[in-house]
């Protein structure tokens, strides 16, 4: 089963909010983003949709179209997920720069002129 620690070991950081913890386990959905972008700048997300026993890898945070999904892996297939992550980065030129932490927005005050 995919766990928070197993996803973190693969380089993913959680992007879903903590409010989902109050829901029953079968209905919990989660989404993570890889801490590195690909060399070509593409981001990688992994998510577990509500009540479905798979996780999906995608280049968009919320894939609404199956064309946006680059791989689908069973929640029990940790090795398959690792392989899919490596295949994604290989297809995009390798691992690139670290992405800014989830939820971080630099404060940039505007210069006001009265």
CA distances from 37 to 1, 8, 43, 86, 107 (A): 25, 15, 5, 12, 23
Cα 40 to Cα 96: distance, rounded to the nearest angstrom: 8
The per-residue pLDDT for range 26-70, each reduced to its tens digit, is: 456 789 999 999 999 999 999 988 778 899 999 998 888 889 999
Domain boundaries, the chain: 4-17+25-98
Does the pLDDT value for residue 111 go beyond 70?
A: no
Cα 72 to Cα 2: distance, rounded to the nearest angstrom: 13
Of the given ranges (3-12, 16-25, 63-72, 92-101), which has the lowest mean pLDDT?
Answer: 16-25
What is the 3-state secondary structure of 25-59? HHHCCEEEEECEEECCCCCCEEEECCCCCEEEEEC
Higher pLDDT, 86 or 15: 86
The per-residue pLDDT for range 83-109, each reduced to its tens digit, is: 999 999 999 999 999 998 766 555 455
């Amino acid at each position: 089963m995919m766990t928070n620690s197993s996803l973190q070991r693969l380089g993913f950081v959680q992007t879903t909010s903590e409010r989902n913890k109050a829901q029953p386990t079968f209905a919990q959905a989660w989404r993570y983003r890889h801490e590195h972008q690909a060399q070509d700048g593409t981001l990688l997300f992994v998510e577990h949709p509500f009540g479905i026993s798979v996780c999906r890898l995608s280049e968009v945070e919320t894939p609404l179209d199956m064309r946006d999904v680059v791989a689908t892996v069973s929640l029990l297939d940790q090795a398959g997920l690792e392989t899919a992550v490596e295949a994604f980065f290989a297809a995009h030129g390798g691992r690139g720069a670290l992405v800014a932490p989830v939820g971080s927005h630099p404060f940039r005050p505007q210069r006001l002129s009265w």
